[in-house]
Amino acid sequence: MSVQLKNVPLTSDEILKELVIDSLPNILGEPFELITDNLPFEGNQILALNAEQRPTVISYDSRDGGRALLAGLGAIESLSDNRAVLLRLYPALFRGQRNNSSSGIFRLEEVRLVVLSPKAPPGGAYLRHAFRALTTFTFRTLEVEGNIGLLIEPEQYPAPGAGGDLLSTLPRSAPRPAFRSGSAPLSPEEESYFQ
């Protein structure tokens, strides 16, 4: 007997939210704790404690990874800016030592961000190396024997210098451009170029 498997287009953000919530054990690990699936910010986010009991914002979008990334970053900033409201609405974030803070204070640097979209956000490879608290997943919506579910895959980015960046495409003998700050004086060649 063959299994009927087909891609299904999403018709509603509510359906996607339910599918993401059903997939949280795969995204966050177990045990996790769902804090809220209705943050009052632009975009679609879920706030949870992951398996390590660290606050995690899961930002998802049915079409655009860039939009999901920006909405997730905005949600983290808003959470940090509104800690007093956060304490009243979501006291589970502040219980004991869960967030590795002895005072129970919600700290921005402890928040993880998970971005979930059909395509990885642009610049994801750079951001993943610069912002270690970011994890990106891509998904496809599938129907299996009449049931709809998400096929979620972690986005794999190449390591720096492993063919995924511009400098790795230069021949080894080519001079590597040096990073310059605005305060360094220009070389004679640069001076003549800009005149």
pLDDT digits (tens, 9 = 90+) for 80-97: 888 777 778 887 777 644
- The tens digit of pLDDT for each residue in 145-188 reads 888 888 889 887 655 555 555 444 444 544 544 544 455 566 78
Residue whose structure tokens are 């007997």: 1
Q: What is the pLDDT of residue 54?
A: 87
- The answer to which of 12-16, 110-114, 146-150, 160-164 has the lowest mean pLDDT is 160-164
133-143 pLDDT, tens digit per residue, is 899 999 999 88
Give per-residue pLDDT as tens, 32-82. Answer: 999 999 888 899 999 999 888 889 999 999 999 999 999 999 999 888 888
Q: Is the pLDDT of residue 113 over 50?
A: yes
Q: What is the structure's pLDDT at 57?
A: 94
Domains of the chain plus CATH, in order, are 5-170 (3.40.1350.10)
pLDDT of residue 67: 94
Which value, to the nearest 10 degrees, does the dihedral of the CA atoms of residues 185, 188, 193, 195 take? 80
Measured CA to CA, the distance from residue 95 to residue 134 in angstroms comes to 24
**Token output for 142:** 């599938």
Question: What is the rounded CA–CA span in Å between residue 80 and residue 25?
Answer: 25
The pTM (predicted TM-score) of the whole model is: 0.72
pLDDT interval class at 101 (50, 70, 90): very low
- Distance, CA of 4 to CA of 21 (rounded, Å): 24
Secondary element (H or E) of residue 151? strand 147-154
